[in-house]
Amino acid sequence: MEFDDVQIALCDLEKLIPDAVAQALRDENPDNLLKWLREKLPEYAEPGFWEEAPPGGLNAFAAQCRHLIWNSLPVPGNNFLPRPLPQPGRNDPGPCGSELKYKWCCAALPKPSSPDPLNLWPFVLDQVPKQKLDEALAKNRLPLEGVIAAAMNHLGDEGHEKAVDLLEPLFGGSLKKPRPGLEVALERCRGWRRS
């Protein structure tokens, strides 16, 4: 079974990735993420796409999506660090469930690049309860770049209050002198709050 860039593009990744991150963080279990992807991927594809795909194509694509998303995902239960899945060995069973060796099924799929973890932070921080988020911010467990990316993501969608909430704690506590650019980001958020 093979997928090319055109087939992958038929999947609405802008909707799939935030939803998959939300699902992954519900219980932080990669096996449940795989089950969810197998069930929900057809909802993110062009109508009829999976009916025309080769047998086992949905399961193979779901396994590959799970591997790419999960391995880049900052997991709250792991101090906001990824908890990557091992790459299957050539003679291991394929993660798609085909009962074939990995080398005969999923290894033949093209290897798209993993999402940049920085791009996942806005979706991760949207799922974290406020108390846990405040605790992680106070203990400096979140990378500054991730917090800024999440805050900036909220500026265009009427979520400027959320952006300010994410950035303001960075000016107190153990951060005595904010890093360059942080003041600009906070002022931009405050400007949205006033307008």
Q: How far apart are CA 24 and CA 121, in angstroms?
A: 13
Do 136 and 51 belong together in one domain?
A: no
Is residue 10 scored above 70 in pLDDT? no
Do 147 and 175 belong together in one domain?
A: yes
Mean pLDDT of 167-183: 58
Task: Provide the b/e sequence for 68-81 (b: ≥16 CB within 10 Å).
Answer: bbbbbbbbbeeebe
pLDDT tens per residue across span 136-174 = 888 888 888 888 888 888 876 666 777 777 877 777 643
Q: Which residues are registered as beta bridge partners of 75?
A: 81
Is residue 193 scored above 60 in pLDDT? no
Do 109 and 154 belong together in one domain?
A: no
Do 15 and 99 belong together in one domain?
A: yes
Query: What is the number of domains present in the chain?
Result: 2
Is residue 43 scored above 50 in pLDDT? yes
Choose one of 116, 137, 170: the last residue of a domain: 116
Helices and strands in the chain: count of H runs, count of E runs: 10, 0
The burial of 157, by beta-carbon neighbours within 10 Å (0-12 exposed, 13-18 middle, 19 or more buried), is given as exposed
Residue 24 lies in domain: 5-116
Distance of CA 102 to the CA centre of its chain: 25
* Opening angle at CA 131, ends 128 and 136, nearest 5: 70
List helix spans (H) across 156-195: 160-167, 182-194
Is residue 176 scored above 60 in pLDDT? no
Mean pLDDT of 32-52: 87
Mean pLDDT of 10-39: 91
